[in-house]
Every structure is written in structure tokens, then in C-alpha cells.
Amino acid sequence: MKLGEFQVKQPQILHLEASSNNKLDRKKWQISEEVQLLEDAGSVYLSQGDQLLEVITDDMANLQRKAGQQSILWYLAKTKKNYLFIRGTLIVDAPVQMDFDIGIDSRVTKQLLDAQEIGSDSIAKATQWFNEEFLLQGTEHARLFTCFYAQNRTRSLQIQGRNYKATLEGLDGFWLISKLNRSVAGNVSLKLLQGRINFVDNSVAAQLKNPTHKKQLNELVNSHGSYMQLWRQYNDAEWSLEVSHARELGSIKYEEKGIHEGKLLHWDFIVRPEQAEQFIEKLQNIAKEDNAPLKKITLEVTPCLPDWLDNEVIIQESGLGEDKKDKKPWLCNFVAYEDGILTLKVDAKRDREPHNAGFISLSMHGYRKVRQRREDAINLINSRGNPMPQLHFLLEGVPVPYEEQRKQRSLSPEAKKRFKGPATKKQKEALYVALNTPDVALIIGPPGTGKTQVITALQVRLAEVMKDVPVQHMTLLTSFQHDAVDNMQERSNVFGLPAIKKGGKRDRDNDANDPLVTWCQDKAVLLESKLEKLINNEPAFLSVKSLEKCLVRLRVTRTDSDEKHGLVNDINISLDKLAEHQIRLSPEVQERWNEAAKDLLSSKAFVKLTNSNSALLRNVRALRVTEVSFMDDGKQQSWRLLDSLKMHQHVIPSEHLAVLTETASLQHATDNKLKQLKHVKNRLLEQLLPDYRPKNIQQVLDEALCKLLDDINEDIRDNVSKHHSLGYLQVLAEYLSALRYSPRRMESAVETYAAVLAATCQQSASRQMANVKDVEHTSQIQFNSVIVDEAARANPLDLMVPIAMGDKRIVLVGDHRQLPHLIQSKVEDELDDEFELSQVQQEMLDQSMFERLMKTFLKLEKEHNQPQRVVMLDTQFRMHPVLGDFVSRNFYERHGLDAVKSILSEDLFSHSVAKFDGKLCGWINVNASRGRAYKKHGSLQRDAEAEEIARYAKEILEGSPELSVGVITFYSAQVNKILVEMEKISLTEKRDDQYRIKQEWLTLTDDSGAHHERFRVGTVDAFQGKEFDVVLLSIVRGAPPQQLNMQDEKALNQAYGFLRLDNRLNVAMSRQKNLLIAFGDIDLATHPATEEVVPALFAFHQLCESEHGSVFK
């Protein structure tokens, strides 16, 4: 900042003149730059840089006094001829010597960006701006104006710049900018600070480089082990396990390849028979171990032996990095083997053939992608190369610095619309914490508490708070499963646009379930009703649409002559009506159409005649078109044809009639007239001679006529687009057409502007996502905000993939009291054997990242005065209040969490299920005498329960058509047995070797016309996030022995199995709205050990025995 640019200055200007001994060289003096007044032996000098000039004025005594004052800073305001005009800024006392740093954080940087003072969200740009705005140029020391307040008792300091003032807060010798405002004109006392004054980066990223934070991180890692390192080891161990399977199969070399005749995508590979037999035998063993058909095992064809099959390569170092384009594997499946020829079916067409020679092995393509994405995320987080560098510290449990941001309110009018009713206090709090978190926020969503509504409202608020910043692709919605992502995508609506899902294979033949297609249909319905009213008020536009339809029909439909005649007339009528509104064809196109219309109309007339009067054809053939023949009887033949036409009362084109009339009166015809007569004869013969081509070919228009129809359409469109009242209707009509008939085109358009993208955790780092974000490598993908649903279920490695992309905030939504994340026990055992895991490390593996962060954040908030990052939703809207209270007590309050309230009226949960009228729960006893559970394919199955549930499910479905039904069990074998029993009573059918719900039971329609799932059968894992009016729960396990050792964990697990997993039982018992019925051996629920081992099951039986339930023994 130049002193002359400073706004606080004295009103008086000193008028100085160069002394008689000096002449002012104005080019050497800089306007607005600082100058000094110096006094020596009664003379006064003005100094600027290396310039020194003796000056005089009318009041030299006053000038000499001012020259001795250190409390005024002077600058050169103006020069004119031999005069200089200087102006001063008054400061309190002499300059104060100080050395200090002033911190700039992301909040202030964002403020400057919003005010358009800097061009990018960069601390470096902000630092440069502060230097230019506040630091005074002119000396070797940095100088800064501060506002002086005599009564100031705070540790704050206000500095004054060119156009802004900033408030500094002091802490341990360091100053931080807490407030930045534009300066307001007025008198203020100033002090001048000078010394080593620097504006420095005080962002979280910069603070984390502080040795103190690094020391904290190292101490924690050394004492408990690194969370990130442990999961890297898990990733390597999982890869090693998969590679061991691949090495069991090994590879087979092929020398030649060729297309398999008669089969699309089938290739034959020439292999050595002795190797092939061993290879196929091993492949069959793998299929048997995986309980999968041989043809479902995926193989890959590569030009070189994969490095993971090279025994000299360390397994953990194999499979990393991307394949070059010409080295990418061909994924395929086994088809057949015979006499040295291995036939494989590739999974998709490629732009090249497989290599002429290479290797066939078990496909590791999918595992490699998963591992690489995880590895990239781990490396980014560990190196703090991700957009949110503090994430590494938080995952390790270390407190981090944070920046105070301007607080955003929870709700806006638009966000309120995303709730089915008024938002609860905790829903508002969840939004507030998510919006204002300095880094990560956790929202705990017990069953039915409206977490999806919170997610939907949060997307709206995130877009709104971005204000003038482009919001395209700023938010990522993600979850570990496609179903959860689709669920969020279906409800996403930001600025009227849906979220766009990237990655994964969607069933393009089943558009009914595509959220984008649904969005297009909904938009089309709304637009159509509005557009219809507008069009009805514009008759000209109706003529435009009529003309367009006629042009299309004439071009693409196989019409006979009568229909063509009608279409031509309709086109002419539409063109005439449009002409009344000054919408006309160009003269050239109009002339071409007139000619074509005449031909089309005349062809119709003569085609009709050829079917009824062959004499007319003879008369046409008799026309004389040469000089010699015309002299014989040319005149008479022309008369005969005219008479024949008149007799048939048929009109021909006027120019043809004129030629015939004239030649009928001539004895001799000129060459020109004979040419005209010959033209008429040829045209009439063309029309009258039978067309022996196939009917469909006869009806096809020629290329020239098709081009004419295009030109007509284009002419009219151009006219309409320029019309003052029709142009916008045309745009709306085209938009409606795209919504109805081209949803995939709409997807491309929506994708360009959508604020929200959606993908599974893994697909967040897909090539498709990188293309949308316009980055070269997937590790460069970033989002302003990342929202993860079902976060407690995601494997921490998979969860790291999307959260490594989060810049401003990461919002994890889930419930650690429901289904846990999945880890492979074999991998866990391998890690324990290799590294001898400590108890803390074992907990790191068993505990979801969601639960770990929840406990970490609550501890940091309590012990380190960190901001609130965790909110638990506390009001459920799904179940009858009694059932809601049961879930709250047994699965939340019992574990030290807040109660989940139920506020809906009991009257909303009535049902018509037989035997349970007015009841909320029940137990149908299937006692041990009807057969106990037994193992099948490593799972448990109980036939009697399956039969009872199938029968009762059909009773409800038929007797209560308004109700939806869910059938839940803990075992896959029991699911299959239930589906088998349901096939016998026409609830299911077997298709493609799988049992499926029959079409008539799949959905039901509510009062608004929306479709909902009506019937589902599955394990607990298939039901998280789902809800049904009635749930039937198959317990499967029977009562344990009366004398059960309560200290023997193995015996307890054998007796109760999955029932001991409280989170799975929570999901199983919280899907119902109106009624929950358990099917199983009631002796299990009443066993003395159950109250202690599975208290929720014991409590449920007690509820069934109360006035709220029924028990059928």
C-alpha cells in the first residue's frame, strides 16, 4: 500500500515551492509515494528516495515545526510547475517497534473470494492481498497502521488498511485475523507499528505441520499402533489371500487363438492338452469351493504372465499400478474344452482382438481395482495429500486445530420441504452440525428417525450456502452398497435437478427403477399440463405441431395413395394457417413443395384409374410424338385422350392439359411442341403403368422428397423460433419431448449442471467419475462435501476411498447399533498370526470406523474443548409407539445411548391381520417336536418354521391387500427353504435357477399413486433401510440344554448363534410399522439363560405375553 492510497488523512494540504536555488524536476518525483520533511540550519528539505529538494512556503516557522514531528507521515499529493503539494496522516506518538506474525486462515480467504478480492480459494493469494492492502511501502521495515483506543482492555488489535480494517486476536504471541470489514469514513487515532511483520498461513494444514501436532501423532501411534497402518496391512493380507487362490489354479499358456464360429463373443484358444486337463480340474475345484457354477468363474486373458503368479515377486508388491491399454486383460468365462481347444466367452466387445499368444488365469481384475483404490486413499490420507489434511490425525484419535467459520442456519424454506412434517429438534441440530463442522460430522440414525430426509435437506442447504460459487459436482453421495446409493439418489433434488449416479452396471432395460427416468417422467407430467394450456391459447402453434406430425407421417409411414393425398392436403392446410400468422416457407422451398404436391396428388388420381380403365392407358400410348407419326393422326390422338379424360371426369395438371389441347388443334407440330407432348406422355405412362415392385418399396419416398420435407420442417422451425410469442413454446415442447422419449439425452444435460453426484464407495474413484470431474487420475478427484450413508456398515478401507476426496466437510450418517462392517475372519487370523495383534489393534479391526470416530469425537469434545461433531436423531416415525419404545430400551438405552422417542399417534398403526386384531406383536410357537434346525451348506435351516411362515405370509397377503410384508431370518439356508415352500403356494417362482417373488406380489400403490415394495424375503442384511407394515421373523434356533454353562462362550455361541449379535437383532426387530410376529420354539425365549444372553429376545416374548401381543402355543 502506498501512503497516498490510505483513506485516513488530514484535510489540510501543504503548498511547497522549490527554493530559488533549485528547479523542480517533476518526472523524478512519485505521486502518492511517501516523502519526508527535514530541517537543517533553518532550511527545510523534502526527501523522496534519492531525491532531495529545498522547499519554501509562506509560513516557514510552521513548516520548520512540522519537519521536526515524528507523528505525521507525509506523501506527495500533486506537483505543478515548481510547486509540490503534500498531505499527511497523523499518528499517535512515534512509530512502535514490534516483530510479530499475523495468521490468515481459510475462513478469511473464503471471505475475500466471496467479495471477489481474490480469484481463487488460495491462502497464498490471500497473503499477497493482505500484504498489498495493509503493509505500508517506503522503508526497509514492514509498517502497519493500528487503530488506537485508550479504553481498550481486550487482547484484540485493529489494523487499518487501504480500504479494509481487520481485527486481530492475540494468543501466545501470535495474532490471528478474527474479523475483516470494509473501512468506514471517520476520524480515528492511529499508531504505526514497524518491524518484522508478516502475514502467514494459519490454515489447519499449516498448523498440522507444527512439531507439537506431529509429536502427538507419533506418541499415539507408538503406544497403540497406527490405525492407518493396520488397515494397510489388512489390505495386503486380503490381497495375499486372493492371490493364493489364483496361484492354486495357476495359468495356462496358449499359442494361438481364433473366433469360435457361429457364436458371438466366443473365442477358441489353442492349448496343450496335458496342461488343459489339469487347469480345468483345478478350475472345477475352485467352483466347488465357491459353490458356484463352473461357467460363472471369471478368468482373464493377458499377453504376459501376471506378476502375482510369479513366485519371485513379493505378493504384497504385486498387482499395483494401472495396465497399459494394450496390456489390459480380457475378462471371460469358461464355455468348453475339447482336443486342445479351450473356448471362452469374453464379457464385452473390444476395439481389438486378444493377443495371438498369452496366458489364461483366474481373474484378479476386480480385486486389483479395489485394492488400488484403497491403496491410493491410504497414501493420500497418510501423506496429508488429501484436501482435508487433518483427517489422518482424526482417524488416529489426535485432536486437531480448527477454524471458526461463519455459522450457517439449519433450515431454509426449500430445505423444510424435504421433510414430511416439521423437522425435529435433533434433525435441525444434525443439519447445523453437518453444515458448520470444521471437518467431519457424524449423524447417528436409529431405525425410522428420518436420516434420509436429513441427507436430502442437507444437500439443499449445501448448495444454498455456496451462493455465487459454481455448485456443479460439488457434493458426493455415497454408500458401500448400490441400494443405499439409489435410495439417496431417488430423493435428491437440488435446484430442481436430481443427483447423477456414476459407476456400476445399471440395468438399462429396466428404466422403471432408474431415478433419472422417474425424474424425467415427473417433470414431463408437470410440464405437459402447463404447456397444454399455453398451446391452446396459441392456435398458430397447434398448426405447427399438426404440420410436424404430417411431415413425419408422410416420410416414415407406409401409406397408400389415398392416405398420401390426405396428408398432402393437411400439409397445405397447415401451411395456409401459418401464413395467416406471417409464418411462411421461403420462396424456393415453397416452389419445390408446390411441384412435389402436384406430383403426389396427380399420381393418386392416375393410380386409381389404372385399376378401372385400361383404355386410358391405350390412349396415352397412342399419342404421336415424332414429326412423321404426328402428321399421320397426331391431332386425332390428342383429341381422343382429351375425350377419355373428360369421360372419366378426371383432372390432370393444367400444364399437361394445355399441351394436349393445343396439339389437338395442330396439323403440324414444331420440334419444341413435340418435346412437350413427349414429356406429357412419359409422365402419364409412369403414373398409369402397373408398379410391380413390392408394396413396401412402392410406398417409400425418394431421397429428394425426403430432403424437401426436412427443408420445410427447418424453414418453419426457424420462423417459429424468431416469432415473438411462439419461440418459447417451441423450446418447451422440445424439452417435453426430450423428457418423455430421450431420458438418456437428458442424463447428459443434467450431468453438466447437477450439484450432486452419486456412487458407491468404490465407484467414487472410478474412471467415469474422473471424467465427470475432468481430472486425469482418480486420485485427483475432490468434492466440496462428501456424504456417506450406512457409514457404520462400510469396511474402513472402502470408506477411506470417498472420504479422502472431501475438502470442506465429510458427513457420515449411520448407526453402529445396527449391522456392522464386514471383515474376513481368515484375513483377521492371518494378521494375528503375522503381527500378533494387541487388544487395541483387535478392537481397531472389529470396530467400524463410524463407531471409532464417534467415540473419538465425543472424547475430543469433552477433554480438548473441540467443536461438536456428533448428533443422534432421537425421534422415530416408523413404528407403533410401543414397538418403538421396545427398540429404544433394548438396543439403545441399554447401551448408554439416549432414548429414541415415538411421537406418532397409536391410531395411525391399525391393521387387519387375522388373529392379531388390535395387537402389535406376537409369537407363533413352532416347538421342537416338529423338528429342530439342521445345517445345510454351512448355514442353518428349519423346515417346520419355513412351512408355517410361507402359509401365514400368504394369508396376510391375500387377506390384507393394503399391507406390505417382510420375512426375515438370520440364515441363508432358511431363506431358500422359505422360498421353496412359497413356490408350492404360488408366492414365488423359479427363474434362472433362482427363486423370485411372483409379479402379482411385488408392489403396492399408495393413495398418491407411488409404488412401494410389498413383499420381500431375505436375511437381516437385505433389510437394513427397509420397512414393511408386517414383519415375520424366523428364529430358527431351538431351546438350548437346561444346564448351560454361562461362562463358556463357545457353548453360548453354539446355543444362540446370530441371536447374540445385538446389532443384527436390532435390524430384525425394527423393520415393522404395525406388527412383528416371531416364529420359533418358544422354549428358547423362556429359557433361563436367554434373559442374560439375549435380553432383547426375552423382553420381546414378555411384550407378546402382555396386552399388546398374542402368543399361539
CA distances from 1076 to 110, 111, 1027, 1072 (A): 52, 54, 12, 6
In a domain, 713, yes or no: no
CB atoms within 10 A of CB 281: 10
What is the average pLDDT across 214-234? 83
Instruction: Write the single-letter amino acid at 87.
Output: R
First to last CA, the chain: 90
- 558 falls in which pLDDT band (50, 70, 90)? low
Q: Whole-angstrom Cα distance, residue 1056 to residue 1047?
A: 14
- Is the pTM of the predicted complex or chain greater than 0.85? no
Q: 905 and 1046, same structural domain?
A: yes
- 520 falls in which pLDDT band (50, 70, 90)? confident
Give residue 247's pLDDT. Answer: 93
The tens digit of pLDDT for each residue in 838-870 reads: 888 888 999 999 999 999 999 999 988 899 999
Ramachandran region, residue 917 (left: φ > 0; alpha: ψ -120 to 50; beta: rest): beta
Q: 888 and 871, same structural domain?
A: no
The tens digit of pLDDT for each residue in 946-961 reads: 999 999 999 999 999 9
Q: What is the DSSP letter of 687?
A: H
Give residue 697's pLDDT. Answer: 47
Give residue 513's pLDDT. Answer: 60
Q: Whole-angstrom Cα distance, residue 920 to residue 691?
A: 78
Q: Whole-angstrom Cα distance, residue 114 to residue 468?
A: 8
Q: Which of 1055, 1060, 1103 is nearest to 1078 (CA)?
A: 1103
The tens digit of pLDDT for each residue in 376-425 reads: 999 999 999 999 999 999 999 999 988 888 899 999 999 999 999 999 99
Give residue 692's pLDDT. Answer: 54
Q: 476 and 351, same structural domain?
A: no
Task: Reply yes or no on whether the pLDDT at 50 is more than 60.
Answer: yes
Q: Residue 623: what are its φ and ψ, rounded to 5°?
A: -60, 140
Task: Reply yes or no on whether the pLDDT at 602 is more than 80.
Answer: no
Q: Whole-angstrom Cα distance, residue 359 to residue 697?
A: 52
Give residue 1027's pLDDT. Answer: 95
Q: Are 1019 and 940 in contact (CB under 8 A)?
A: no
Outline where DSSP puts E strands in 789-884.
806-814, 870-872, 875-876
Give residue 822's pLDDT. Answer: 85
In total, the chain counts a number of residues equal to 1113
In a domain, 1072, yes or no: yes
Q: 888 and 866, same structural domain?
A: no
Give residue 610's pLDDT. Answer: 45
Q: 644 and 563, same structural domain?
A: no
Give residue 542's pLDDT. Answer: 86
Q: Are 880 and 1027 in contact (CB under 8 A)?
A: no
Give residue 512's pLDDT. Answer: 52
Task: Reply yes or no on whether the pLDDT at 374 is more than 60.
Answer: yes
SS (H, E, C) 28-43: HCCCCCEEEEEEECCE
Tell me what the pLDDT averaged over the chain comes to.
89
Q: Chain centroid to CA 1064: how far? A: 30
Q: Whole-angstrom Cα distance, residue 598 to residue 572?
A: 11
Residue 743 or residue 694, greater confidence? 743
In a domain, 504, yes or no: no
Helix, strand, coil share of the chain (percent; to 5):
45, 20, 35
Which of 876, 911, 939 is at the close of a domain? 876
Lowest-pLDDT choice from 169-173, 224-228, 333-337, 738-742: 169-173
Highest mean pLDDT among 32-41, 141-150, 797-806, 818-827: 797-806
Q: 309 and 264, same structural domain?
A: yes
Q: 1067 and 936, same structural domain?
A: yes
Q: Are 640 and 720 in contact (CB under 8 A)?
A: no
Instruction: Write the single-letter amino acid at 705.
Output: L
Q: Are 642 and 661 in contact (CB under 8 A)?
A: yes
What is the average pLDDT across 830-837? 87
The tens digit of pLDDT for each residue in 1029-1080 reads: 999 999 999 999 888 889 898 999 999 999 999 999 999 999 999 999 999 9
Outline where DSSP puts E strands in 414-553.
440-444, 475-479, 500-501
**Half-sphere exposure (Cβ direction) of 652: Cα atoms closer than 13 Å:** 26
- 281 falls in which pLDDT band (50, 70, 90)? very high
In a domain, 854, yes or no: yes
Q: Are 1104 and 1060 in contact (CB under 8 A)?
A: no
Which of 90, 111, 143 is at the close of a domain? 90
In a domain, 705, yes or no: no
Q: Are 759 and 769 in contact (CB under 8 A)?
A: yes
Q: 546 and 397, same structural domain?
A: no
With both helix axes pointing from N to C terminus, report the angle between 587-610 and 561-579 in degrees, rounded to the nearest 10: 150
Q: What percent of the chain has pLDDT over 70?
A: 94
Give the DSSP H/E element, type plus range, for residue 201. Answer: strand 197-201
Q: 112 and 83, same structural domain?
A: no
In a domain, 942, yes or no: yes
Q: What percent of the chain has pLDDT over 90?
A: 55
Nearest 10 degrees: CA dihedral of 232, 237, 243, 248?
180
Lowest-pLDDT choice from 158-162, 437-441, 759-763: 158-162
Is 74 in a helix, a strand, or coil?
strand
In a domain, 545, yes or no: yes
The tens digit of pLDDT for each residue in 882-893 reads: 999 999 999 999
Q: Whole-angstrom Cα distance, residue 598 to residue 603?
A: 8
Q: 845 and 728, same structural domain?
A: no
Give residue 611's pLDDT. Answer: 45
- 153 falls in which pLDDT band (50, 70, 90)? low
Would you list the DSSP string of 9-62? --S-EEEEEE-TT----GGGS-TTSEEEEEEETTEEEEEETTEEEEEE-S-HHH
SS (H, E, C) 877-934: CCCCHHHHHHHHHHHCHHHCCCCCEECCCHHHHCCCCCCCCCCCEEEEECCHHHCCCE
Residue 152 or residue 905, greater confidence? 905
- 726 falls in which pLDDT band (50, 70, 90)? confident
Give residue 521's pLDDT. Answer: 85
Nearest 10 degrees: CA dihedral of 633, 637, 643, 644?
150
Number of domains in the chain: 7
Would you list the DSSP string of 451-489? HHHHHHHHHHHHHHHTTTS--TT-EEEEESSHHHHHHHH
Q: What is the DSSP letter of 295?
A: G
What is the average pLDDT across 939-945? 96
CA distances from 14 to 60, 62, 86, 91, 428 (A): 11, 11, 5, 17, 62
Q: Which of 351, 413, 238 is nearest to 795 (CA)?
A: 238
What is the average pLDDT across 501-527? 72
Q: 162 and 56, same structural domain?
A: no
Q: Are 443 and 871 in contact (CB under 8 A)?
A: yes
Give the DSSP H/E element, type plus range, for residue 1034. Answer: strand 1028-1034
Which of 876, 900, 924 is at the close of a domain? 876
The owner of cell 469425537 is 857
Task: Reply yes or no on whether the pLDDT at 612 is more than 50.
Answer: no
Residue range of the domain that includes 34 = 3-90
Give residue 603's pLDDT. Answer: 57
Q: 980 and 1105, same structural domain?
A: yes
Q: Give the list of residues 6+ apart from residue 446 with CB closer than 8 angstroms, or none.
A: 815, 817, 872, 873, 874, 876, 887, 888, 891, 892, 900, 1070
Assigned C-alpha cell, 888: 429404544
Give residue 508's pLDDT. Answer: 43
Q: Whole-angstrom Cα distance, residue 892 to residue 875?
A: 13
What CATH number has the domain bearing residue 1085?
A: 3.40.50.300
In a domain, 464, yes or no: yes
Residue 469 or residue 941, greater confidence? 941
Q: Which of 783, 829, 826, 836 is nearest to 807 (CA)?
A: 783
